[in-house]
Amino acid sequence: MKKGRLGYLFIAPATFHLVVFAIFPMLFSVYLSFFKWNLLTSERSFNGLANYAYAFRDPQFWNAMWNSTKYALLSVPLGMIVGLLVAILVNQKLRGITLFRTLFYIPAISSGVALSILWIYIYMPETGLINSVLGLLHINNKTDFLKNESLAMFALVFMSIWVGLGPRMVLFLSGLIGIPPSLYEAAELDGAGKLRSFWNVTLPMLIPTTFFVLITSTIGALQIFTPVYIMTQGGPNEKTDVVGYHIYVEAWSKFLIGIASAKSFVLLAVIVIISIIQFRVLKNQLEGYSTT
């Protein structure tokens, strides 16, 4: 392919859109973070670094950052492990397996609002689905999962695994299908058992897939909003007040536009740093196995 200018024409519409609706807003958000403004008045007053100072001193902001970290640390690895296990389960030549694959995907295409309302119901004490089943087994069925300070976060994580199962399964499945059978045959010749060839062949070959799932899941987890908005509003006692929801409240409920912008920018910085670290670590792994 020779270098030319025509390529710019092809990417122009998408690039224009990207600049207008992603890059410019981000820069504008940085600009706003230096002002005090409540959206209703027309003038905004310059506030220097005061919004950042406020953000760094605000315990509720750090509580939210911590909650998001906790959510990501729980939901991402658990979701990935479950996704991989299910992918292995459905990577078998069984009659009707496509039906199951399709079935497992349904939660992922469902409406986030509908699912959140549904899961409020599932988590209800006594009458909720989980507690009803516990009641049938004569186990304590009075737990109010979403109102319990130590359980609410786990309730959200559990739901996220349920919702995200389908896509992760399909991703890992495609990774599994892509592994050349010759590798397994070679491992077998070397006398490796099932578990060993899983460890030595399957996992290393899945690293590119894992990388993709890890980065997208982490970004997704750090930005979780709808379930919190519908199910817990950050409660009980701010135990599920994740940073996406916290910033939403600052901006759209308290109308502290400057402070919300400063906090968004801090969040963005954190996401970028995490992505770079993940990228570095996995890239090294990737290169290590690139010979296979």
Partner 1 sequence: MRSTTAVVIGLCLCVSGCKSPQARPEVVLHLSNWGGADDDAEYSRHINDLYRQFERENPGIKVEIESVPNEYVQKMILSFVADTAPDVLSLDASSAAVFVNNGVVKDLRSFVETDPGFKTSDYWPNVFSIDRRDQAIYAIPGDFTPLVIYYNKKLFDRAHVPYPSGHWTFQQFLDTAKKLTLRDKDGKVIQYGFNLTNWMPGWIVWLWNNGGDVLTPSGQAAAGALDSDKNVESITFLRDLITKDKVAPDLSQTAATGVDPFGNGTVAMEMSGHWEMPGFKNAPNLHLSDVGVTEVPTQLPQSRTVMYEVGFAMPKNAKHPAESWKLIKYLTSHLYQSSYQQTGIAVCARKDVAIERAKDPREQKFLDIVPSARGPWGANVVGYDFVEQEGKKMMERVLAGTDPRESLHEMADRIDGYFKVK
Partner 2 sequence: MKKALSYAALTALGLFLVAPFVWMLLVSLQPNKAPIPTLDHLVPKHPAWSNYHLVLFEQPNLPVLRFFLNSVIVTFSIVLGQLFVSSLAAYGFARMNFKGRNYIFFIFLGSLMFSGPVTQLPVYLLVRSLGWLDTYAALIVPGVSSAFSVFLLRQAFSAVPNELDEAARMDGAGDFRIYSRIIMPLSGAALATSAAFCFFATWTDFFWPLLSTSSSNMRTLEVGLSVFKNSYGNTNWPLEMTATVLVMIPLLVAFLFSQRYFTKGIMIGSIK
Could you tell me which stretch among 40-48, 73-81, 187-195, 241-249 binds partner 2 (CB under 8 A)? 241-249
Who contacts 85 (Cβ-Cβ below 8 Å, separation ≥6)? none
Task: Tell the smallest beta-carbon distance from residue 13 to partner 1 (Å).
Answer: 10
Instruction: Judge contact between 289 and 204, C-beta under 8 A.
Output: yes
Q: What residue has token string 């030595």?
A: 200
Query: CA–CA separation, 256 vs 250, rounded Å?
Result: 6
Among 70, 82, 107, 125, binds partner 1 (CB under 8 A): 125
Among 194, 254, 280, 283, binds partner 1 (CB under 8 A): 254
Binding of partner 2 by 204 (CB under 8 A): no
Written as six digits, the tokens of 239 are 């135990």
Beta-carbon count within 10 A of 68 CB: 22
Binding string to partner 1 for residues 164 to 203, with x set by CB under 8 A, is what? ----------------------------------------
Written as six digits, the tokens of 266 are 């801090």
Q: What residue has token string 């399709």?
A: 102
Specify the residue, 189 or 194, whose C-beta has the smaller distance to partner 2: 194
Q: Decide which of partner 2, partner 1, none touches 200; Cβ closer than 5 to 8 Å per partner kind.
A: none
Written as six digits, the tokens of 53 are 């100072």
Nearest to 29 by CA among 252, 256, 265: 265
167-196 binders of partner 2 (CB under 8 A): 167, 170-171, 173-175, 177-178
Q: Which residues of 163-194 are buried (b: 16+ CB within 10 A; e: fewer)?
A: bbbbbbbbbbbebbeebeeebbeebeeeebee
Q: Decide which of partner 1, partner 2, none touches 62; Cβ closer than 5 to 8 Å per partner kind.
A: none
Among 9, 14, 40, 195, binds partner 1 (CB under 8 A): 40
Q: Prior bond to 236 cis, omega within 30? A: yes
Binding of partner 1 by 54 (CB under 8 A): yes
Binding of partner 1 by 236 (CB under 8 A): yes
Task: Tell the smallest beta-carbon distance from residue 126 to partner 2 (Å).
Answer: 8
Among 49, 139, 272, 281, binds partner 2 (CB under 8 A): 272
Nearest to 260 by CA among 69, 33, 68: 33
Among 23, 28, 60, 281, binds partner 1 (CB under 8 A): 60
Q: Decide which of partner 1, partner 2, none touches 37; Cβ closer than 5 to 8 Å per partner kind.
A: none
Specify the residue, 34 or 211, whose C-beta has the smaller distance to partner 1: 34
Three-state DSSP at 36 gives strand
Q: What are phi and psi of 271, to 5 degrees?
A: -60, -45
Q: Which residues bind partner 1 (CB under 8 A)?
A: 36, 38-41, 54, 58, 60, 124-128, 142, 144, 147, 149, 235-238, 252-256, 259
